[in-house]
Structure 1
Amino acid sequence: MKSLKTLLMAAALVAVNTLSFAKANTNKSFGSEDRHLSGFNAVSVAGSFDVYITQGSSESVKVEAPDDVIDRIVTEVEGGVLKIYNKKNNGMTWNWNGNKKIVVYVSIKDVNMVSLAGSGDVYFKGGLHAPSLKLKLAGSGDLTGKVDVRSLESSLSGSGDITISGRAESSSVSVVGSGDFTGQNLATANTIVKVAGSGDARVNATDKLEASVVGSGDVHYTGAVKNVTSSKAGSGDVSRM
C-alpha cells in the first residue's frame, strides 16, 4: 500500500510539472526585431521557420520569435544572399520546438533565387517578378507562391512540396524523392520535367513538353501543348490531366 501511495504521488508530481512546463512554454512572450540588412537578391532558409517574402521598392527583414530565442535566429547577407538559419549551440544546430511558429518577413527588390532546407515553409503569394528565378527545396518543408518570369528553374529533393502559379516562358522542373511539384496553374510555353522516385509533378504547357519518369512517380500535364516527348522507366506514367 505504501509503495502504491508513493507511486501515485510521483505520478501526480510529474503531471503537475508537465502542466507547468506546458503553460510556461505557451505563455512565453513574443518579440519583434527589425534586422537592418540590404544588398541581397536571393533568400536561403535553413530551419523550421515560416518565411514570408514580398517584392517591393525596398529591402527589409523582420523576425518574430519568443524573447528568449530571438537572438538565436541568424539573418545575414553573404554574397548577395540573405541567409536565415539557427545559431549553433555548442557546435550543434539548435531547433525551435515550441507551440508557436517563428516568423520572418522579408522584403526584396530584385530576386533570382529562393531556397529552403528543412521543415520550414516559405511563401511569396503576392508574386515575384524577375527575368529568371531558381527555386530550391530540400527536406520536408513547402515552397508556395506566384511568379512572373521568363525562365523558372525548380528543384525538389525530399518529401516537401513546391506549389507555384503565375507565368513563365520556360520552366525546368526536377523532382527527386517523394515530394510533389504542383504547377498546373503555372502557364508556360515550354516545360522540361524530370521525376525520379515516388513524387509527382503537375505542369502546364502550350508549345513543348519534355517529360521523363524514373520510378513510381507521375507527370500530369495540362494546357494546349503541341509537342510532347516522354520517357519512362518503372511504374510511373506521363499523362494528360
Structure 2
Amino acid sequence: MKKLILTATMIVMAVAMCQAKNPIKGNGNEKKDARTIENYTAISVADGIALNFSRDQLSGIVVSADENVCEYIVTEVIGGELVIRFKTGETVKPKKDVVVTVPNNGTVTALTVGANSKFNIKEEIVVEGMTLKLMGGAQVEMKLDARQTVQVEMIGNAKCELTGKAAEMKLVMEGGAKFNGYNFKTKNAACELAGSSDAKIQCNDRIDVADLTGNSTLYFKGDCEIGKVSLKGGSTLGNR
C-alpha cells in the first residue's frame, strides 16, 4: 500500500512538473472576446492583467488578449465582485497585453489590484465613493470624481497616482508603497504610513496623521489645518 501511495504521489508530481514546464505562450494574434456577466459593484484583478473603464462599453465586458490565451482568463462574479485572473494552475505568458474593459457607469465602488497588475485608466470615473486596494507591485493611474470618501490601502511596493477630487480621503500605506495625489483635491485627509512608504497629497481643510513610522514621508500641499500627528522612526511630514 505504501508503494502504491508513493507511486501515485510521484505521478501527481510528474504531471505537475510537466505542466510547469509547458506554459501557455501567446501566439501574438489579438482577439477581443465579448462576455456577458452578472451584476457587480467591486472588481478584483490579478496576474498582471490590466483593467480599463469605458463609457463606450454599455454592458458586459471585453477581454483583449492573444487568441490562444483568452480561454485561460477567468472572469467570474463572486459575492458581487468581478474576479479577473488566469486559471488556477496554469502558467500563462502572453505576447499581447491582456486588458479587460468594463463599463464606466459609476456602479463600481471597490477595486482590488493584485501583484504586478499595471494600468492607466484614461476616462474619469464618477462615483459616490471608492475603495482602492493595491498590493505586491501593482501600479495604477486613474482619475476619480468622488462625492464622498476615497479610501486607499497600499502594501508591498505598490504605486498609485490619482487625479480628480473627493470630499475626503483615507490613506493607509506600508511596505515601501508610493502614492502621488498632488493633483487629487480633498477637503479632509486621514493618513497612516509605515515601512518607508512615500505619499504626496493635496488637502484644503484638515489633515490627520494617525501614524507616520519607519522612515516614511508625507508631503502635502494646500491651505489646511494640521490635526492629530504621530511621527516615529525618522519619518517626515512637510508642506510643499
TM-score range, shorter chain: 0.7 to 0.9
Q: CA 1:54–1:114 in 2, change beyond 3 Å: closer, same or farther?
A: farther
How far off is 1:58 after superposition? 3.2
1:65 Cα shift?
1.2
Q: What SS does structure 2 have at the residue aligned with 1:118? A: coil
CA contact (8 A) 1:54 1:128 kept: no
Query: How far, CA to CA, are the matches of 1:45 and 1:165 in structure 2?
Result: 21
Relative to 1, partners in 2 of residues 1:213 and 1:56: Cα closer, same or farther, differing over 3 Å? farther
Q: In the TM superposition, what is the alpha-carbon distance from 1:205 to its structure 2 partner?
A: 0.6
Q: What fraction of aligned residue pairs are identical, expressed as a percent?
A: 23
In structure 2, the residue corresponding to 1:71 is in which secondary structure? helix
Q: Deviations over 1:129-164 (max 9, x none)?
A: 222110010111212101111111000011120110
SS at match of 2:234: coil
**Contact in 2 for aligned 1:137/1:157 (Cα 8 Å):** yes
What does 1:67-146 correspond to in 2, within 5 Å?
A: 67-89=67-89, 94-109=90-105, 110-146=107-143
Q: Gapped runs of 5+ residues in structure 2?
A: 1-24
Letter in 2 for 1:222: K
Considering fraction of residues, name the structure with more strand: 1
Distance 1:56 1:42, change over 3 A: farther
Aligned counterparts of 1:169 and 1:209: Cα–Cα separation in 2: 12
SS state at 1:146 partner: strand
Matches within 5 A, 1:158-169: 158-169=156-167
Check conservation: 1:48, 1:96, Cα contact below 8 A: no
What TM-score do you get using the length of structure 1 for normalisation? 0.82
Q: Structure 1 residue 175: deviation in Å?
A: 0.6
Give the distance between the partners of 1:100 and 1:36, measured in 2 at CA: 23
Bigger-Rg structure (1/2): 1
1:157 equivalent in structure 2: 155
How many Å apart are 1:26 and its aligned residue? Answer: 7.7
Is contact 1:182-1:201 (8 Å) kept? yes
31 and 215 in structure 1: CA distance in 2 versus 1, 3 angstrom threshold = same
Post-superposition, which runs of at least 4 consecutive aligned residues in structure 1 deviate over 6 A? none
Moved more, 50-59 or 151-160: 50-59
Residue 214 of structure 2 aligns to which amino acid in structure 1? G
Residue pair 1:41, 1:108 contacting (<8 A) in 2 also: no
TM-score in terms of structure 2 length:
0.83
C-alpha separation between the residues in 2 aligned to 1:139 and 1:197? 14
- The residue type paired with residue 179 of structure 2 is F
How many residues matched?
A: 213
Cα deviation, residue 114, structure 1: 1.0
